[in-house]
Amino acid sequence: MLNPKKSVRLRLSGSLAVCIVLLLIVGALGIYSAQRSQGSLETTFNTNVKALEQLGIMRTAILSNRVKVVAEQRDQNVATVASTQAEMAQNDVHTNAAMQTYLSVISDEQERAQATRLQQSITALQGDLQRMMTMMAAGDFTAASAFNAATLRGDYQVVIDGIAGLFEGEVARAAQHNQNSLAAYEALRNTVLGVIALAIALALALSVWLVRGIMTPLSKARHFANELALGNLAVETDVTCKDEFGDMLRALTAMQQKMAGVIRSVSHNAVAVNDSAQDISRGNEDLNRRTQEQAASLEETAASMEEITTTVRHNADNAAQADRLVREVSQQAQTGGNVVQSAVSAMGEISASSHKIATIVSLIDEIAFQTNLLALNASVEAARAGEQGRGFAVVANEVRNLAGRSANAAREIKQLVEESVKRVDTGAELVNRSGQTLTEIVSSVKRVTDLVSEIAVASREQATGIDQVNVAVSQMDAVTQQNAALVEESSMASRALRNRAAELQQEISFFKVDTSASDGVSTGNARPISTSITPPVRSDRTSALAARTELKRPAAQRQEVEEWAEF
């Protein structure tokens, strides 16, 4: 199990989680700041702006009533007073509604007390304005002017001053609220910037921590792998981390140790192979000596072969006589062949004449057929002619011509038949001569048969001696074949082993193994193998026997030799 505090996966996941949390904090602070700003704006609008709006409505309505009173006082027209009173009453309604709205949006007690006093002053002003309008409606403009100068001006000034005081207070409170909002915004902005700076610093610290935690073991692993690629199996590395990189380094270390053990084992086996090759070489020398002994035994068998020479000579004489007779028989057979060839030629000529006869006969048949047709036409023409006999004459002429051609063909057929008879006679004579020749051949064959019988008797006597020699030769041949095959296979195997061992040691020399852990196994070069093998001394007879032995070697043994060479 990996230590959670040392796991690269958990470190990466934790760093990502910290970054996400920091982003969430920054986002939450931003959202909170936006909500604070929105709340401040809503408070300013719902409190200060609405209050100022209602104060403006009240001031406008009061100023409108004041202007209307002054206008009526100046015009002194009783007829318009009633309509002006109605308009002033409507303005009073607006003023009272604005006052009620203003009272509903304010929350400060001092401001509310000022608003209450202003409301009372407005009520008093509205009552005085109604009395003055009543005076002007009665036509008493002088009294109305005196009332205006004595009372209304003071009431109006009190109301205007009260509205102005409240207006200034609202403006001051709005400014103070704005200052508070700005201060809160700056504080929140500084907080957000601080959190962002903290997040950046923490992210950088996490990045440095992760890079160091990853690159340090990776550098070790790269150095370790490079050393292995260079063949240095004795390299060592300290594995202190317990995360996935530590597992990787420990796996590489285990692989390096396993490879070092394999290389040491292979080196030891290469030395053993060299020793085995030397043993095989010594065995080849022993086999070489045995092969020489077998060659000497073959020398002894030569004496037995001399005893068979006389019988072989007698058989050779008989074979010479048989050869002469065979040549005579061959000449006679050639003569008979020539005769037969002549007969064949004559028969070919007869066949050609027969073909001509067939052609002429076909022509005669055709002429006869046409003659019949012409005769038929002549009959028809004769029947139809009447006075016209010229057509009949033409037909008759053609019939005569065809008759002449038929006569000529008949003569040719006669001549050909006579020639065919002559050639048949000649063929018969040739056949008779062939029979005589064959009779002579049969006589010669009988003489050859007698000679062959004598040769068979001599051959049986020769076979008895040859069997005895073959028994001894077969035994020596079997041993010689085995020894020769073993010598060759062993020689090829020893050369192959020597070459492979040299190549293997050359390849292994690329790796550098810690010799202290080799358990005494030497990786040096093996002892050289002596490849000098004394060839056996052979006489002419043993050389011939060796050649025959090589030809008689079984295919399976040759295949084994090839397999040894391939190995």
Q: Quick check: 160 and 112 in contact, CB under 8 A? A: no
Task: Pull the structure tokens for residue 34.
Answer: 């936006």
Neighbours of 267 (CB within 10 A): 21
Strand, helix or coil for residue 232: strand
Is residue 533 scored above 60 in pLDDT? no
CA–CA dist 288, 532 (Å, integer): 12
Domains in the chain: boundaries: 8-222, 275-566
Is residue 188 scored above 70 in pLDDT? yes
CA–CA dist 259, 252 (Å, integer): 10
What percentage of the chain exceeds 90 in pLDDT?
0
Bridge partners, 232 (sequence order): 512
Phi/psi zone of residue 231: left (φ > 0), alpha (ψ -120 to 50 degrees), beta? left
Digit-coded pLDDT (tens) for 7-21: 666 767 777 787 788
> Of the CATH numbers 1.25.40.10, 3.30.70.3040, 1.20.120.30, 3.40.50.1970, which one belongs to the domain with range 8-222?
1.20.120.30
Digit-coded pLDDT (tens) for 336-375: 667 666 766 766 676 677 667 767 767 776 776 677 677 6
pTM to 2 decimal places:
0.35
Is residue 408 scored above 80 in pLDDT? no
Digit-coded pLDDT (tens) for 160-183: 888 888 888 777 777 777 787 788
CA–CA dist 19, 12 (Å, integer): 11
* pLDDT tier at 525, thresholds 50, 70, 90: very low
CA–CA dist 552, 94 (Å, integer): 141
What is each CA distance from 409 to 352, 354, 412, in whole angstroms? 17, 14, 5
CA angle 480, 483, 489 (to 5 degrees): 135
Is residue 450 scored above 70 in pLDDT? no
* pLDDT tier at 211, thresholds 50, 70, 90: confident
Q: What is the pLDDT of residue 195?
A: 82
